[in-house]
Structure 1
Amino acid sequence: MVNILINDIVPIIVIMALGYVCGKFSYFDDDQRQGLNKVVLNIALPAALFVSIIKATREMLAQDATLTAIGFIGVIVMFMVCYYLCRLLFHRSIQEAAVAALIAGSPTIGFLGFAVLDPIYGDTVSTNLVIAIISIVVNAVTIPIGMYLINLGQAKDRAKLSAEAVVDVKGDVTVDPSKDAKADKDAELLVHGSSNAGKKKNGNLQALLNALKQPVCWAPLLAIILVLLGVHVPDQVAPTFDLIAKANSGVAVLAAGLALSTVKFSLGWETIWNTFFRLILTPAVFLGVGLLCGMGSDPDKISMLVMAVALPPAFSGIIISSRYNIYVKEGASTTAVSTVVFAVTCLLWIWLVPFCVH
């Protein structure tokens, strides 16, 4: 356990602190910070997601149907629960709640999965299976859902602003017919450019298409399609993706520190709730469901599953938050607090799962 803290948790905190200091001393300006985010979101992160998923096989997914079902359904359900609770409890917009779910509702399985689970449970087939399943659903399902919701929320906001502008134009009192005609023309253009305002079906489709255009969405989806089709990517190709993928974690953590430096650190109720949801509530739900589904007969496997979903927030969430300037303050604060608190909750779940099983 000491090795996990020293080798995995401490480097995250140190690099995040380095990013924070760099931000406070203006070592990076706004354009450079956004450039870092763009490199991670559009190049390094898609490559890392593709590499992590393509290593799985159809046989691996079919090896344990119960584990696969709980992993896929559980992560998606908890992601959506996080989204709706954020909307309900804190009255956040669609895109803010989507980013909150990407952060508080998703574990950083790609970065810490092997680093945490291997030293505790060993480098076994079961360990690789758990990490592969959670990695696939987090990277190939929840990220596209989150991006879709962000695009949907932004489209609705643009439509609302356009509608308000149309009302303002229509509400101008004038006696000049030519001005009235111009106002009608302006209103027509505003409505036309508002992402199909008033047409929910078309708006949803456009939001989905916009999300799928992002490399962070189509790269993991392409990988899962190749896995399901049984297409094996030659091992010689892996180093090409690995080289840029290795830059993802370090730059993502540094960017999280930079994002935190641009806002006032917050330890309010929302940050506390997000931390509780990520580190306590989510693994507790998985533990309960796993026991109900009969996984108690294999204590190590259910413990691996719980630990995999008890990891700190996915760094992809904070990168998306910073890139689109959505939920930055709360997202960065949640990432920082959760990473530190994980040092305690990790020990808690290592002790508690065997106790509950027996």
Structure 2
Amino acid sequence: MTYVIVHALAPIFVIMLLGFWAGKAKMVDNQNVSLLNIFVMDFALPAALFSATVQTPWSGIVQQSPLVVVLTLAMWITWAVIYFLAVKVFKKSPQDAAVLTLTVALPNYAALGLPILGSVLGEGPSTSLSVAVSIACGSVLMTPFCLLVLEREKARAAGGNSGSTLTMLPVLMWRSIKKPIVMGPLLGVILSAIGIKMPDLLLAAIKPLGLAATAAALFLTGVILSARRLKINASVIIGSVMTMLIQPMIAWGVVLVLGLHGQVAITAVLMVALSAGFFGVVFGNRFGVQSPDAEAVLLISSVLCILTLPLFISLTSGM
């Protein structure tokens, strides 16, 4: 099993290392990655998420509702705890806290979901469906939290609106929803729900963008990291422990409360037990927000999940 995990993680480290080397060698300007960021956030990732959700039958999505409930609760609880600690205890700015929280709370479904789940439950339509639903769940129900905070602080900095978050909420929601990274999977879910099937030609046309999404995002993350210095502090330690150990235990608790068992229970716990995702770091860079702590959590959890994933695989074997 350790071999399977290392095999799944190897592409992540290799591609991030290539991006890191390209930034250090000045092959890419690691102080100005706006063009690459636009490609990843506005084209590649939205295309990948749209393709994954629009091709997922609505009946299959409905059948996965227990999985959605577990993932959503685990992510939302983690978001609330980490954001509170980041702002109130560690005195971070709301933007920095939002980036850190999204990094901690949103697991790396896109890169690790299928390899890990496929190795445990076997590859097949049900496994692919679970991963697609997980990606959609994170994109539609988690990323808007981060976008809301970033858009709110951007508006306040520009002097456009200094009201409360509640009064600004309709405008902030619209700004978040119209972002391609949210609109892509959301549109796919809506089209799936009303039974509209996309033409094969259209799906084939955007397939190359989708295939490039994860690699481009990891390369971009490596480039961003090449301009930073890794620092370990209390915030990084708490964030790493939360994403690797506590959040999966929260998912486990929800599974027990709901009385779930079998494949859906194993899937829910293992998907949450994945390492931290790269969305937070990439989002922050798009808004000009640097979060060294989020970057450190991303690196640490990606390395140490080699140890924690076998633990949760063993613990869920009897479900």
* TM-score after normalising by structure 1: 0.82
List aligned pairs for 1:307-326, cutoff 5 A.
Answer: 307-326=270-289
Equivalent residue number for residue 184 of structure 1: none
- CA separation in 1, counterparts of 2:198 and 2:22? 39
**Aligned with 1:266 (options 207, 212, 231):** 231
List aligned pairs for 1:1-358, cutoff 5 A.
Answer: 1-30=1-30, 33-158=33-158, 194-198=159-163, 201-296=166-261, 298=262, 300-354=263-317, 357=319
| Secondary structure at the counterpart of residue 295 of structure 1 | coil
Task: Describe the superposition over 1:109-163 as per-residue Cα deviations: whole angstroms up to 9, x where unpaired.
Answer: 12221121112211245423432332221012211222112101222344xxxxx
Q: Could you say if the C-alpha distance between residues 14 and 125 of structure 1 is closer, same or farther in structure 2, counting changes exceeding 3 Å?
A: closer
Question: Which shows bigger deviation, 338-347 or 195-204?
Answer: 195-204
- CA separation in 2, counterparts of 1:75 and 1:130? 16
Task: Describe the superposition over 1:227-273 as per-residue Cα deviations: whole angstroms up to 9, x where unpaired.
Answer: 22222223443222220111111121111111111111112222221
Q: Matched residue pairs, number?
A: 319
Task: Describe the superposition over 1:287-337 as per-residue Cα deviations: whole angstroms up to 9, x where unpaired.
Answer: 1110121114x2x43122111111122222221122223243222221111
Q: Could you say if the C-alpha distance between residues 125 and 278 of structure 1 is closer, same or farther in structure 2, counting changes exceeding 3 Å?
A: same
Identity of aligned residues (%): 25
AA at the equivalent of 1:69: V
| Secondary structure at the counterpart of residue 33 of structure 2 | helix
- Two-structure CA RMSD over aligned residues (Å): 2.2
| Secondary structure at the counterpart of residue 11 of structure 1 | helix
Q: What residue ranges of structure 1 are gaps of 5+ in the alignment?
A: 159-193
Question: Which shows bigger deviation, 114-123 or 6-15?
Answer: 6-15
Structure label with greater radius of gyration: 1
- CA separation in 2, counterparts of 1:82 and 1:251? 28
Q: What residue ranges of structure 2 are gaps of 5+ in the alignment?
A: none
